[in-house]
Amino acid sequence: VRIVCVAGARPNYMKIKPVMDALERRGAEVVLVHTGQHYDESMNGVFFTDLGIRPPDRFLGVGSGTHAEQTGRVMAAFEPLLAEIAPDAVVVVGDINSTVACALVTAKAGPLLAHVEAGLRSRDWTMPEEVNRVVTDRVSDYLLAPSPDAAGNLRAEGYRDDQIHVVGNVMIDSLLANLDRARGSGVLDRLGLAPGGYGLVTLHRPANVDDPEVLTGLLKALGEVAARCPLVLPVHPRAAGRLAELGVPDGVRLIPPAGYLDFIALQDSARIVLTDSGGVQEETTALGVPCVTLRDNTERPVTVEQGTNVLAGRDPERIVATAHTVLDDPPAPRRPELWDGHAGDRVADVLLDGLAAPANGRPR
Ligand code: UD1
Ligand code: UDP
């Protein structure tokens, strides 16, 4: 059995690795296709080293661009490659432009398509990722959901039960597999930080960093939180220019994007995390670290209902008040069901069982 696994940007690598490993353990031939959506060493290369992913078998090299340019370039490059590789199935993860582009190509080309992280919905159509999620799910045969709420969304949209499989969270497979190594990364010493003595911030959603007025408000809030707990902010390239222009308040320290092991260690020892990242909401829940999400909505409600996540929106006063509440009284965490380090195995079992089914009935 030959299976193409697609990755393209920072939040893909820690999701695809456990799936690749589980497929290969079961004897499948895995072809790793990298779209090249992210390409800086700090957004890309370091994750291959830290996670022990072999170099991609094929590289599309699409780089940055508008949504249409980037999505279109991935599609145009992936189509002939898929015809050449002729896999039995394609696995896409997450919600980035590379995910939807490869999904659309696969749906018309013939191989079975599996979407890992299916069913997440923010119901916020101003988020490019929401479009990517809904479209990717619609053309996928196998919808591999991280949590029961995601499966519920899919059922409500009319997908059939035989398409939907709650497999747990592959990102947490990587987190648990690498936690000990991360704790030995030495990043706190390198940065002169004490465990529990700092807060960690990430910002990269277009709605937060592309509009200078919004970003100014967020920085004001961060400055006030930093007066109580100094903050470290690894800067995503999307936000780098604007942060340099606007400048950051005292107590907020900018550092380059962190590698995977360093960033896990920084989360693990943080007193509080403030973020607009999707994955970071999940990792803080798994680690039991308080998380204040700088968005009005989340496609990952399980992190609020069971985990350590609190939605604070983008209003500076509300962010500061939420951060103080969380610092005074950190939420008690519960790790969601099936976030147990074995989601990749469940993905592989569903997919290989489906491919082996006598009728090879397409669920879609
Ligand atoms: C993308 C994903 C987003 C994900 C994020 C993870 C889409 C629509 N967005 O957003 O869902 O949360 O990745 O980090 O797919 N850049 C560099 N170096 C790089 C990559 C990007 O400098 O290696 C800069 C470029 O100026 C680029 C900008 O960052 O234009 C944005 O990159 P892009 O991949 O388009 O979107 P992200 O904001 O990274
Ligand atoms: N991450 C990292 N270094 C950083 C910021 C994030 O290694 O400086 C990791 C983080 O631990 C998680 C993933 O990147 O595994 C999340 O990706 P990102 O926040 O870029 O995207 P999103 O999850 O919002 O799509």
Q: How far is the CA of 349 from the centre of ligand 1 (A)?
A: 32
Are 120 and 211 part of one and the same domain? no
Which of 47, 100, 203, 238 has most ligand 1 atoms within 8 Å of its beta carbon, as the pocket-test mutant? 238
- Is there a single domain that holds both residue 205 and residue 154? no
Of the pLDDT bands very low, low, confident and very high (cuts 50, 70, 90), residue 333 is confident
Sorting pLDDT into bands at 50, 70 and 90, what band is 201?
A: very high
Look up the pTM and report it: 0.98
40 & 104 share domain: yes
Residue 7 domain flag = yes
Cα distances (angstroms) measured from residue 50 to each of 33, 61, 77, 289: 19, 21, 28, 22
Within-domain flag for 362: no
Q: What is the mean pLDDT of residues 149-155?
A: 98
Q: Are residues 257 and 344 in the same domain?
A: no
Residue with tokens 């069971």: 306
Q: Is 8 in the pocket of ligand 2 (CB under 6 A)?
A: no
pLDDT band at 358 (very low <50, low <70, confident <90, very high): low
Q: Are residues 157 and 50 in the same domain?
A: yes
Is 364 contained in some domain?
Answer: no
Catalytic residue among 38, 165, 204, 342: 204
CA distance 94 to 77: 20
Is 276 a member of any domain?
yes
Is the predicted pLDDT of residue 249 greater than 80, yes or no?
A: yes
Give me the pLDDT at residue 288, please: 97
Per the prediction, the chain carries an average pLDDT of 97
Atom 35 of ligand 1, residue of closest alpha carbon: 64
Paired with 295 in beta bridges are: none
**How many separate domains does the chain show?**
2
CA 138 to ligand 1 centroid distance, Å = 24
Whole-number Cα distances in Å, 266 to 260, 310, 317: 10, 19, 26
Instruction: Give the model's confidence band at 57: pLDDT under 50 very low, under 70 low, under 90 confident, else very high.
Output: very high
pLDDT at 118: 98
* Residue 35 C-beta-side C-alpha neighbours within 13 Å: 33
| Cβ contacts of 303 within 8 Å, gap of 6 or more | 281, 282, 284, 285, 291, 309, 336
Q: How far is the CA of 238 from the centre of ligand 1 (A)?
A: 6
* Cα–Cα distance, 338 to 199 (Å, whole number): 28
Average pLDDT over residues 235-261: 98
Split at pLDDT 50, 70, 90, the class of 361 is low
Residue 97 covered by a domain? yes
Question: Is residue 320 included in any domain, yes or no?
Answer: yes
**Domain assignment of residue 240, given as a range:** 179-328
For range 187-198, the mean pLDDT = 98
Q: Are residues 190 and 318 in the same domain?
A: yes
Query: What band does 150 get if pLDDT is binned at 50, 70 and 90?
Result: very high
Position 357 confidence tier, pLDDT thresholds 50, 70, 90 = confident
My answer on whether 299 and 348 are in the same domain is: no
Residues 135 and 185 in one domain: no
Same domain, 164 and 238: no
Residues 218 and 99 in one domain: no
Written as six digits, the tokens of 279 are 């994955």
Q: What percent of the chain has pLDDT over 70?
A: 98
Residue 361, in any domain of the structure? no
> Which of 48, 96, 282, 298, when mutated, tests ligand 1's pocket best, judged by the most ligand atoms within 8 Å of its CB?
96
CATH number reported for the structural domain that contains residue 280 in this entry: 3.40.50.2000
Whether 182 is in the pocket of ligand 2, judged by its Cβ within 6 Å, is no
Query: Does ipTM surpass 0.95 in this model?
Result: yes
204 is annotated as an active-site residue: yes
Evaluate: CB of 11 within 6 angstroms of ligand 2: yes
Please, which pLDDT band fits residue 360 given cuts at 50, 70 and 90?
Answer: low
* 259 and 146 part of one domain: no
Same domain as 221, residue 128: no
Site to probe by mutation for ligand 1, drawn from 64, 92, 281, 283 as the one with most ligand atoms within 8 Å of Cβ, is 64
Decide if pLDDT at 362 tops 80: no
* Residue 333 lies inside a defined structural domain of this protein: no
pLDDT of the residue at 67 = 98
268-308 pLDDT per residue, tens: 999 999 999 999 999 999 999 999 999 999 999 999 999 99
For residue 16, what pLDDT is reported? 99
Q: Find, among 151, 167, 166, 173, the residue nearest to 340 by Cα.
A: 173
Ligand 2 center to 51 CA (angstroms): 13
Q: Are 286 and 267 in contact (CB under 8 A)?
A: no
What mean pLDDT do residues 332-336 have? 89
Q: How far is the CA of 81 from the centre of ligand 2 (A)?
A: 28
Q: Pick the ligand that lies closest to the CA of residue 96.
A: 1
